[in-house]
Amino acid sequence: MATIIDGKLAAASVIEAVASASQDLEQDVGVKPGLAVVIVGNDPASHAYVNSKSKMAKQCGFNSIQHSLPEETTQEELECLVAELNADPAIHGILVQLPLPKHFQSEPVIQSIAPEKDVDGLNVVNAGKLATGDLASGLISCTPAGALLLINKIHGTDLSGLNAVVIGRSNLFGKPMGLLLLSSNATVTMAHSRSKDLAAICRHADILVAAVGRPHMVKADWVKPGATVIDVGINRVPAPEKGEGGTRITGDVDYRECSEVAGAITPVPGGVGPMTIAMLMANTVVAACRTFGRPTPKF
């Protein structure tokens, strides 16, 4: 049976360090880290994520601001709000929840966020720093940064000699995850929906990271015995055992099967999910510390 990687526990330890750094900052310069989360439209899942981000920001002692904009907000209005937040000295981190409603062009909005406040790590400046191996001066996308901390718990920080496979190639997760693993000396394969024989590629992985958005796609015979399996999927599926219309969250990995083969595995929920929010808080406190020229906490 695989070791279960406890994301809640790891996230709690990050949050403790964030809250302590936030308290120190307030004591020394009289300013709380400020996080602005922007959400447009009525998607219930996005609202649930955003509410938990705002709640955690308050728990960390942050100045937590939420902007909930109606579905019919225009591109210009949204970009105007981002410009205001860029100029607001009380705000150190800005997150625009994705996906935006269909009538938006997301990329210009994301690229309009000031790089030093881009706690999602999506601005080309931050993505470029990661791509060129500068992990120290930019901001790194929260979910891959959190997944890497979980991988470090099993393998340490030097992944030399290990094969890592990432399934998924999004800007928010797959690409930065691949680059982080590469920076840690792993030999990295980035697989995706157009890859040939995904199962065979995955079987080479000492570290297998799945971010495909398809419930239970990764099966036991995709997993090399003893491998570390990191499940980034958050899929809502029917759960008839919860009564009519009941649903539950499940991952991209068939946990029941794969935990028989893997050496270590993240559950869903309770694995990577809590780390995403924790790393958002970590990025915000880091951004705030940099504003005041203070040393940044390490996580």
The distance of closest approach from Cβ of residue 119 to ligand GUN in the complex, given in angstroms and rounded to an integer, is 9
Query: What DSSP state is assigned to residue 95?
Result: E
Of 6, 5, 8, nearest to 229 by C-alpha is: 5
Which residues are known catalytic residues?
Answer: 53, 97, 120
CB neighbours of residue 58 within 10 Å: 11
Residue with tokens 């797959």, as numbered in its chain: 174
The distance of closest approach from Cβ of residue 183 to ligand GUN in the complex, given in angstroms and rounded to an integer, is 20
The distance of closest approach from Cβ of residue 107 to ligand GUN in the complex, given in angstroms and rounded to an integer, is 13
Residue nearest to ligand GUN (CB): 98
Identity of the residue, 116 or 120, whose beta carbon is nearer to ligand GUN in the bound complex: 120
Identity of the residue, 145 or 205, whose beta carbon is nearer to ligand GUN in the bound complex: 145
Identity of the residue, 143 or 189, whose beta carbon is nearer to ligand GUN in the bound complex: 143
Residue with tokens 């000492």, as numbered in its chain: 206
Map residue 165 onto helix, strand or coil. Answer: strand
Identity of the residue, 11 or 142, whose beta carbon is nearer to ligand GUN in the bound complex: 142
The distance of closest approach from Cβ of residue 49 to ligand GUN in the complex, given in angstroms and rounded to an integer, is 6
> Residue ranges of the alpha helices (H) in the chain?
7-29, 44-59, 75-87, 106-111, 124-131, 142-155, 174-183, 198-202, 255-258, 272-291
Going by their DSSP bridges, the two strands 63-69 and 163-167 should be labelled as unpaired
Q: Which residues bind ligand GUN (CB under 6 A)?
A: 95-98, 120, 142-143, 172, 276
Cα(166)–Cα(211) distance, integer angstroms: 8
